[in-house]
Amino acid sequence: MKLRSIWSMLLALLATTSFAIVEKQTYVVHMDKTKVVTSNLKQWYEGFMDSIYTLSTDEEEEEGTTPPELLYVYEHAISGFAAKLSTKQLESLKRMDGFLFATADKMLHAHTTHTPQFLGLQFNKGLWSESNLASDIVIGVLDTGIWPEHISFQDSGISAVPPRWKGTCENGTMFSPLNCNKKLIGARYFYKGYEASFGRINETDEFLSPRDANGHGTHTAATAGGSVVNNASLFGFASGSASGMMYTSRIAVYKVLWGIGADGGGAPSDILAGIDQAVADGVDVLSLSLGGGPMPYYLDDVAIASFGAINKGISVVCSAGNFGPSFFTVANSAPWIMTIAASYLDRSFSTTIKLGNGQTFEGSSLYTGNATSQLPLVYGKTAGGEGADFCTSGSLNQTLVKGKIILCRSGIISGEAKGEQVKMAGGAGMLLIEELFARSHVLPATSTGLLAGRAIIEYVNSSTITTASIDFQGTVYGTRAPMMAAFSSRGPNSVGLDVIKPDVTAPGMNILAAWPPIRSPSGLTSDKRSVLFNIISGTSMSCPHVSGLVALLRSFRKDWSPAAIKSALMTTAYTMDNTKSPIIDVASNSLPATPFHFGSGHVNPEAAADPGLVYDISPEDYLNYLCSLNYTSPQIAAISRSPFACQKNSTLQPGDLNYPSFAVNFVGEARNSSMTYTRTVTNVGTPNSNYTVQLEEPNGVAMMVEPKMLQFEELGQKLSYKVTFVGFKRDANVIFGSLVWVYGKYGVRSPIAVTWRNIGG
């Protein structure tokens, strides 16, 4: 090594005194790790550099070339190194055994949690222009509380709290009004209902205050409205500048969920109290990443309280639930709520799973250690006793699993807890059969994806000797997106079949946002790692994305109602991914997703700021809709909180609700039967505009629209149209289509779902 250094200095001296230095560039070089035969990677790659230099100079490279310069050695996230190389040195490197590929270093500007960029938001432009962000919008977050000291909630550069704000910050365990600032302007907690139903809150694990011990509330609050934080990441994953969707908004938290992990939850009475107080305090948007199963609206506490909020002009955004891929599972389905599904964004945390039979699969993990070698793979009975296929507590046999990779199915306990069980039993790694969740595992482990999991089970069941290895690739951008997450709850809307739910989809898979430092990223008590940001998944993560977008639109379009804002986000949503193909559903072998998966499509906030037309709905319209569902006066009163008389002899149908989508339900074979619905649109685009209709008719259904052109003369003008659906052939139980009003740059799109229901069903 000393001789090499002497020669390097001599060559450098000669170059500076006699020749022009050959220009070199920095490359990141990816290497096949299996070709490395030493544990001293730095020495190994320095040997590569020597060989490259010798080879390139032997081939009479131009004078003035200096030896390659090794900058970094990568051994955790990727396998390889970074080096400054001349063009001929790079060509020499490509012929070396183990070389995979090299990428030229280039300036990378800071990303956000990446979702704002994925959603098309740009600093100082459009919805993120300085004038729009200066508006005082308050987002109320009902969740597990907040970690107030987190840098995501710092108030630097924010103006004084608006005088209209009536909220406060309450005292409690490790929390006082001094924890609030011009960013976090409200913090309350509601627990009486929880304690009445489930017993005393365990203050060993929880704070009897707005302080967040769980992490969920801190994460959702930061996603919706967190301040800009530079150099945010989780162990170097997803590195960039983190911010909420409306990063200048005010945040008010209402702690209504209690407990850690699977045992956590909230009492409906506390949630109602939280919403009620938020309305009184003066929030503009309510974000609720919570909910139960589908139930009639008059029994749904969230629906009831949300109606009270929208009656005051407050937008309510809720998560659709995580009970996919089963249909009829969507929660928070009241038409006055904006219900959000979850999808992937174009960033992944990739791993490579290689089986002994040569098959390879792409997985997902946030593990920060080294890759595994090819190790024995065990599963089920070859790993232990009852419950070993799920890797539950005490199910794994140390003798059977020591030094091996264990295949585990999802369920019963968390994926991180399964990894803990594998590690305690002496396992060397884990393959977890589940969707591609990125988890902060405590041992070399990866999610496999659902389809790959089936193939891996088939492999272990068909061979006597099975092996696998896991290699960790780190953060990867540019993957196919959006795709519908398998866990995201789906329609149809079992409570009201005449309204398509969910409404839209937004990023909810592997989202980076703020995290309390007292809770480990894995959530395991044995995990002592402390982080400021964490990556988690769920419709709980997609919901606050839209809550923040609603706040942006509310600031931009101050005269719009909650229904108009929802309409704008729905009619401008897109249904094609970044490969210009239909958005797929990862749970159905990559078949195209439908409105029962994503509603109107994936949110497009900049387009929603100027949608052309909106479908507006008043609180009274919603109550008339309940009348069309044949709700009784007491049932309607439970929602309206005041007497409301349904019109006698009304011909109003459920499908006449002025919703930005169409759900058509035929009974039986429906041959030549028809339904006619009425819609009214409001012009918010340009004064003199003529919109023409374009139809994508569902198979077996004819559509007639009257009139076929809507001629507007001024802004704010309302025009109505009727659309008749005639079912003449039952090709399938559910068929989809669309209706689009087109004028210039505007395409006001409404999805259509036609369902044939059996008689009596």
Active site residues: 143, 216, 540
Cis peptide before 67 (omega within 30 of 0): no
Cis peptide before 562 (omega within 30 of 0): no
For residues 602 and 565, what is the distance between their CA atoms, to the nearest angstrom? Answer: 15
Amino acid at site 207 = F
- The total number of residues written for the chain in this structure: 761
Name the token pair of 532: 């400021």
Name the token pair of 543: 């919901």
For residues 509 and 115, what is the distance between their CA atoms, to the nearest angstrom? Answer: 10
DSSP H helical ranges for 167-235: 192-198, 216-225
**Residue 701 backbone phi and psi in degrees, to 5:** -130, 130
* CA angle at 724 for the pair 721 and 729, rounded to the nearest 5°: 155
Confirm if 587 and 647 have CB atoms less than 8 A apart.
no
DSSP H helical ranges for 162-266: 192-198, 216-225
Name every residue whose Cβ is closer than 8 Å to that of residue 107 and which is 6 or more positions away in sequence.
Answer: none
Confirm if 755 and 666 have CB atoms less than 8 A apart.
yes
Confirm if 600 and 570 have CB atoms less than 8 A apart.
yes
Given its phi and psi angles, is residue 225 left (phi above 0), alpha (psi -120 to 50 degrees) or beta?
alpha
Cis peptide before 163 (omega within 30 of 0): no
CB atoms near residue 177 (< 10 Å): 10
Give how far the C-alpha of residue 498 lies from the chain's centroid of Cα atoms, to the nearest Å.
Answer: 27
CA-nearest of 372, 371, 351 to 362 is: 351
Rounded alpha-carbon distances, angstroms, from residue 285 to 224, 282, 505: 10, 9, 18
Give how far the C-alpha of residue 85 lies from the chain's centroid of Cα atoms, to the nearest Å.
Answer: 40
Name the token pair of 320: 């659709």
CA-nearest of 459, 451, 455, 457 to 380 is: 457
For residues 428 and 598, what is the distance between their CA atoms, to the nearest angstrom? Answer: 39
Name the token pair of 668: 């039986």
For β-strands 405-409 and 429-433, DSSP reports them as parallel
For residues 133 and 447, what is the distance between their CA atoms, to the nearest angstrom? Answer: 39
CB atoms near residue 513 (< 10 Å): 29
Rounded to a whole number of angstroms, the CA Rg of the chain reads 29
**Residue 666 backbone phi and psi in degrees, to 5:** -95, 150
Q: Coil, helix or strand for 227?
A: coil
For residues 641 and 635, what is the distance between their CA atoms, to the nearest angstrom? Answer: 10
Q: State whether the Cα torsion 114-120-124-128 is positive or negative.
A: negative
CA-nearest of 133, 565, 615, 556 to 314 is: 565
For residues 628 and 623, what is the distance between their CA atoms, to the nearest angstrom? Answer: 9
For residues 419 and 427, what is the distance between their CA atoms, to the nearest angstrom? Answer: 9
Given its phi and psi angles, is residue 478 left (phi above 0), alpha (psi -120 to 50 degrees) or beta?
left
Amino acid at site 414 = S
Confirm if 245 and 551 have CB atoms less than 8 A apart.
yes
CA-nearest of 107, 44, 34, 56 to 81 is: 44
Name the token pair of 325: 């891929």
